[in-house]
Amino acid sequence: MDLYLDSADRDALAPLLATGLFRGVTTNPLILQRAGVRLSEVPSLVSWLLASGADEVFVQTTAADADAIEREGHALRDLSDRLVVKVPATGPGLVATRRLSAAGVPVLLTVVYHPNQAVLAAAAGARLIAPYLGRMTEAGRDGRADLRTMARALAGTGTGVLVASVRDAAVVPELAADGLEAVTVGTDVAHAMFAEPLTDAAMVQFDAATSALR
């Protein structure tokens, strides 16, 4: 499973990217706002992320109509050939995704909540979709079941699934066991993935034994 970080906070991202375990970084306007990153500062952020160990970076369009989304998508892609354009799963977004994909721009269709949107994303040529698992579940849907349906529907289409809105580190291995190929998590969830009390306890014993052997 490919692991991504969902953040624009440089201080929080730096140590996690340095591990080499996370393939890249996903962002959206809310994430930028929380990190205090203005739209004019996105090019600088992208450069920093790529220099800090991200293999690829995802940046979301902010326009509303298909023509403007398409123009913005090309402008974002011009920042780097390792940038993937995120486009919301609206009607205009799907039209723009089709155009951008046809022009060779990799697109992730984001804020996906229903398998119908996954099918439309494949028809539009999206590279990935980002279903919001946490929000789906909080809305009373069986998010895990819907994700499995999306994955089966997309098998062989060339469109993959990058699960977003993951609230708990324990969910990540469950998603991997379900066959989902990628997930993006906040830095707090990423840190929680490293935590295991039994491993910590074993290391205390190993350290004590090592000291006794000297």
What CA–CA distance (Å, rounded) separates 168 from 2? 17
What CA–CA distance (Å, rounded) separates 91 from 97? 10
Q: How many residues does the chain have?
A: 214
Query: Is 68 considered catalytic here?
Result: no
Given the residues 60, 79, 86, 124, the one annotated as active site: 86
CA angle 86, 28, 144 (to 5 degrees): 75
Provide the 8-state DSSP code for 21.
-
Those residues with Cβ within 8 angstroms of residue 28's Cβ, 6 or more apart along the chain or in another chain: 60, 86, 110
Start-to-end CA distance of the chain, whole Å, equals 41
Query: Which residues are identified as catalytic?
Result: 86
